[in-house]
Structure 1
Amino acid sequence: MAEEYGWVIAAVAAVVTVLVIAIIRLGQRVRLLKNQVTELEQRAEVTASLAAHPKRPEDRLIGVVVNVSKDNADHVTKLVHQACAEAGMPDPFIQASTAEDPGRVMADRAVEMGCDVVIAAGGDGTVRAVATALTGSDVALGIIPLGTGNLFARNIGLPYHDLTACTAEAIHGTRHKVDTLQLELRRPGGRSEHEISLVIAGGGLDAEVMEDTREVLKARAGWLAYGEAGLRHVLGARKTLSVKLDDAEPETYRVRSVLLANCGTLQAGIRLIPEAMFDDGHMDVALFTPRHALDWARVIAKTAFRYSADIPVMKVRQARTGRLTMAEPMRFQIDGDAVGDVISVSARVAHESLVVHGVSPAVLEHPHH
Structure 2
Amino acid sequence: MTVDYGWVIAAALAVVVILAIVIARLAKHLRRLKLRVTELEQHVEVTAAVAAHPKKPEDRLIGVVVNVSKDDAGHATKLVHEACAAAGMPDPFIQASTAEDPGVVMTERAIEMGCDVVIAAGGDGTLRAVASKLTGTDVALGIIPLGTGNLFARNIGLPYHDLTACTAEAIHGTPHRVDTLQLELRRPGGRSEQEISLVIAGGGLDAEVMEDTREILKARAGWLAYGEAGLRHVMGARKTVEVKLDDGEPETYRLRSVLLANCGTLQAGIRLIPEAKFDDGHMDVALFTPRHALDWARVIAKTAFRYSADIPVMKVRQARSGRLTMAEPMRFQIDGDAVGDVISVSARVEPESLIVHGASTEILENPEH
- Distance 1:163-1:250 versus aligned 2 partners, 3 A rule: same
* Deviation (angstroms), 1:216: 1.2
Task: Quote the residue 2:350 is aligned against.
Answer: 350
- Distance 1:368-1:29 versus aligned 2 partners, 3 A rule: closer
CA deviation profile, 1:66-86 (whole Å, cap 9, x unmatched): 000110111111111111111
Q: Give the length in aligned residue pairs.
A: 368
Alignment of 1:178-327 (within 5 A): 178-327=178-327
Report the 3-state secondary structure (helix = DSSP H, G, I; strand = E; otherwise coil) of the residue aligned with 2:136. Answer: coil
Task: Quote the residue 2:44 is aligned against.
Answer: 43
Alpha-carbon distance in 2 for matches of 1:139, 1:294: 48
Alpha-carbon distance in 1 for matches of 2:297, 2:251: 25
Match for 1:194: what amino acid?
Q
Consecutive unaligned residues of structure 1, counting only runs of 5 or more, are 3-12
Alpha-carbon distance in 1 for matches of 2:131, 2:147: 16
User: 1:265·1:274 contact (CA, 8 Å) conserved in 2?
Assistant: yes
* Deviation (angstroms), 1:168: 0.8
Q: Which moved more, 1:132-141 or 1:352-361?
A: 352-361
Alignment of 1:14-93 (within 5 A): 39=40, 42-51=43-52, 53-93=53-93
* Deviation (angstroms), 1:362: 2.3
Report the 3-state secondary structure (helix = DSSP H, G, I; strand = E; otherwise coil) of the residue aligned with 2:74. Answer: helix
* Deviation (angstroms), 1:39: 3.5
- Distance 1:30-1:291 versus aligned 2 partners, 3 A rule: closer
User: 1:258·1:287 contact (CA, 8 Å) conserved in 2?
Assistant: yes
Alpha-carbon distance in 2 for matches of 1:203, 1:41: 44
CA deviation profile, 1:112-142 (whole Å, cap 9, x unmatched): 0000000001000000000001000010101
Task: Determine whether 1:144 maps to 2:144.
Answer: yes
* Deviation (angstroms), 1:367: 6.8
Alpha-carbon distance in 2 for matches of 1:29, 1:340: 57
- Distance 1:292-1:100 versus aligned 2 partners, 3 A rule: same
Q: What stretches of structure 1 move > 6 A for 4+ residues in a row?
A: 23-34
- Distance 1:362-1:342 versus aligned 2 partners, 3 A rule: same
Match for 1:319: what amino acid?
A
- Distance 1:169-1:27 versus aligned 2 partners, 3 A rule: same
Alpha-carbon distance in 2 for matches of 1:101, 1:45: 33
Alpha-carbon distance in 1 for matches of 2:233, 2:32: 58
Report the 3-state secondary structure (helix = DSSP H, G, I; strand = E; otherwise coil) of the residue aligned with 1:276. Answer: coil
* Deviation (angstroms), 1:366: 5.0
Report the 3-state secondary structure (helix = DSSP H, G, I; strand = E; otherwise coil) of the residue aligned with 1:130. Answer: helix
- Distance 1:62-1:239 versus aligned 2 partners, 3 A rule: same
* Deviation (angstroms), 1:368: 9.8
RMSD (Å), alpha carbons:
3.1
Alpha-carbon distance in 2 for matches of 1:254, 1:176: 38
* Deviation (angstroms), 1:37: 7.8
Alpha-carbon distance in 2 for matches of 1:357, 1:164: 14
User: TM-score w.r.t. structure 2 length?
Assistant: 0.90
Report the 3-state secondary structure (helix = DSSP H, G, I; strand = E; otherwise coil) of the residue aligned with 2:324. Answer: strand
- Distance 1:362-1:338 versus aligned 2 partners, 3 A rule: same
CA deviation profile, 1:55-74 (whole Å, cap 9, x unmatched): 11111110000000110111
Alpha-carbon distance in 2 for matches of 1:232, 1:26: 53
Match for 2:188: what amino acid?
P
Alpha-carbon distance in 1 for matches of 2:31, 2:222: 43
Report the 3-state secondary structure (helix = DSSP H, G, I; strand = E; otherwise coil) of the residue aligned with 1:164. Answer: helix
Percent identity at matched positions? 82
Alpha-carbon distance in 2 for matches of 1:36, 1:268: 32
CA deviation profile, 1:187-226 (whole Å, cap 9, x unmatched): 1111111000000000000001111111111111111111
Match for 2:241: what amino acid?
L
